[in-house]
């Protein structure tokens, strides 16, 4: 099983300076429309080929997508392999913090 946190909990942790490895699994067009500045993009469509990149950054591994569905699938997949991961429930739709547009 994997952990979950709300978008508000994520925002609180980022504001407190908690070191997170935040990965956005939306597609590039969604990313360009707006993303959390601390996040990095590994689109779900490329995830199997790029899964090795998950642990390139230190911190708790947290996944986010538009609504929490795709990131939940990634979390389920990785949790079954023994990884400790967290899904942001509600995803970007629930995010009320600042977003960065473009790359």
User: In the chain, where are the structural domains located?
Assistant: 3-94
Q: What is the average pLDDT across 95-100? A: 96
Mean pLDDT of the region 72-93: 96
Express each pLDDT in 13-49 by its tens digit: 999 999 999 999 999 999 999 999 999 999 999 999 9
Residue 75 has pLDDT above 90, yes or no: yes
Residue owning tokens 């739709």: 93
What does the block give as tokens for 26?
A: 């939306």
Instruction: Check residue 66 and give its pLDDT.
Output: 98
Average pLDDT over residues 63-82: 96
How far apart are the C-alpha atoms of 84 and 98, rounded to whole Å?
27
Q: Report whether pLDDT(103) > 90.
A: no
Domain 3-94: which topology? Oxidized Rhodanese; domain 1 (3.40.250)
- Res. 3: pLDDT tops 90: yes
Token output for 79: 């949790």
């Amino acid at each position: 099983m994997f952990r979950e946190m709300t978008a508000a909990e994520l925002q609180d942790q980022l504001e407190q300076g908690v070191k997170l490895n935040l990965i956005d699994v939306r597609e590039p067009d969604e990313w360009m429309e707006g993303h959390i500045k601390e996040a990095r993009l590994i689109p779900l469509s490329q995830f199997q080929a790029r899964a090795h990149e998950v642990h390139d950054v230190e911190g708790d591994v947290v996944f986010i997508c538009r609504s929490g569905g795709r990131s939940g699938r990634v979390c389920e997949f990785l949790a079954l392999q023994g990884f400790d991961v967290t899904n942001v429930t509600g995803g970007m739709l629930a995010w009320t913090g600042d977003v960065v547009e473009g790359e």
